[in-house]
Structures are given as structure tokens and as C-alpha cells.
Amino acid sequence: MTDPLIPLRAIFINCTLTPSPGVSHTQRLMDNAIAIMQANDVAVETVRAVDWNIAPGVQPDMTEHGWSQDDWPEIQAKVMEADILVLGTPIWLGDKSSVCTRVIERLYSYSGTLNDKGQYAYYGRVAGCIVTGNEDGIKHCAMNMLYSLQHLGYAIPPQSDAGWIGEAGPGPSYGDDGTGLKNDFTRRNTTFMAWNLMHLARLLKAAGGLPAHGNQRSAWDAGSRFDHPNPEYR
């Protein structure tokens, strides 16, 4: 088990296209991972992104760039309070939802901010993803989402994605009349994802984050090159 003395916070951002209080099949699967984390003393908050007015763009606050309203700064504050981020999305046309794309773009808007060590702000945090749908695409969506999150600075533990897809074409989605709830592959991957996120988050938190040598943007800008060979003397 992970060390229960190290407190953790997690935020699950559900990128369904269905506003509250509509049923979200993605939320149903996310709730399994949430239950595992809550059973292990992780404080969890869920955000359904479509319920918020998230302006498009890649700046931290888009009201400073022509938009009359932007709720993203409030969500960003929740993200920065969390040690674990899990993005959940349905599959549409073989890809993540448009809402998920916008959330990742807005996460990107903050990625240039530095922490007190001079590293990018998401360093020391971990991330994973949940995908649901009625068509192929779990691994395609996961590749895109997890690549994006690690590029922003998140650490990605082993097997940090989970999902469920039903029979191709129209039909019941996850949780409809019990559909998918007993699928061993999905149950196993969701469980492993939840535990690996908690394990890595606690390891990083106990270590004080990622070591701050060789990755400090502030030091690089000040002239440090961290053993990178001088191109003039190769």
C-alpha cells in the first residue's frame, strides 16, 4: 500500500459533452477510480468541464484577450491544488471530445509558469486518463492525452489509462442496464491506473517533487547548460 501519512488530492475532469444533470457514461467509469482513491484517503474533486464557461485559447485568462467570460482560471486553481489529474473523455469520430481538446489547450496555457524551484509548474504531479465509447479508439485517445499531459510536465505512471468500448455502432453505453460493469479488463485497468497514480504521486511528494537539476527553465535562461555539449567544440 501507499503511505497513508502522505496526504493526496486528486481532480477528475470529465470532458463529456453532456451537461449536468444529464447521465455521463464517462463519469460512471471515472467513479470506480474515484472510489478506490477515496477508500485510500485521497481527497477527490470532480469537475464536469461542459458545465463551465471555458473560453477557447492558450492564455491563462482569456478575458484579457477579448473574451467577456472565462471560468478556466477557477478550474486551473483546482488543478494546481491537486497532486493527481485524471482526464475523462468519450470517443467521438475515433477521437477525444472537443471539450477534452479545449481542456488540454487551457492546461497548456499555464505550462510556461514556473514553480519555486524554477521548474515548469506541473512538475511533481501525476496524470492519467479514462476513455469510454461505442467505437474503437481508447488507445488512440490515451496516446494523445497522455502525450499532451507529459509534455506539459506531468509524470505518467505505468498503465495510467483505462477505458471501455461496447459493440461497434449504436447500442448501450457504459453502465446502461449494467453494461460493462463486470468487464474484467476494464475493472483491472481502472484499478491498476488508480493505484499507480497514487503510488507515483506519493513517491514524488515524499521526495519533494522531481529533482531540480537539469530541468530548471530559470537556470537555463540564466545561462546554465547542465552538461549539454558546446556545439562549437564537438
Q: What are phi and psi of 54, to 5 degrees?
A: -100, 110
Q: What is the pLDDT of residues 119-154, one digit of tens each?
A: 999 999 999 999 999 888 899 999 999 999 999 999
Q: What is the pLDDT of residues 149-171, one digit of tens each?
A: 999 999 999 999 999 888 777 77
Name which of 107, 104, 177, 171 is nearest 135 in CA terms. 171
Region 183-205: what's the mean pLDDT? 94
For residue 1, pLDDT beyond 60: no
Q: What are phi and psi of 126, to 5 degrees?
A: -120, 160
For residue 2, pLDDT beyond 60: no
Name which of 116, 133, 140 is nearest 217 in CA terms. 116
Helix (H) or strand (E) holding 183: none
Q: What pLDDT band is residue 233 in, cutting at 50, 70 and 90? A: low
Taking each helix axis from N to C end, the angle separating 72-81 and 98-108, rounded to the nearest 10 degrees, works out to 70
CA dihedral (69, 73, 76, 78) positive or negative: negative
Q: What pLDDT band is residue 230 in, cutting at 50, 70 and 90? A: confident
For residue 100, pLDDT beyond 70: yes
Predicted TM-score of the model (pTM): 0.93
Are 51 and 110 spatial neighbours (Cβ–Cβ below 8 Å)? no
Q: Which three cell numbers stand for residue 181?
A: 460493469
pLDDT at 71: 98
Q: Which three cell numbers stand for residue 138?
A: 481508447
Q: What pLDDT band is residue 234 in, cutting at 50, 70 and 90? A: low
Question: What residue ranges in the chain does DSSP mark as E strands?
Answer: 8-14, 42-48, 84-92, 95-96, 126-133, 161-165
Which of 152 and 175 is assigned the larger pLDDT? 152
Q: What are phi and psi of 85, to 5 degrees?
A: -120, 130
Region 41-53: what's the mean pLDDT? 98
For residue 41, pLDDT beyond 60: yes
Q: Which three cell numbers stand for residue 50?
A: 461542459
Q: Alpha-carbon distance 67 to 10, whole Å?
A: 29
pLDDT at 171: 78
pLDDT at 4: 62
Q: What are the residues facing 188 on neighbouring strands? A: none
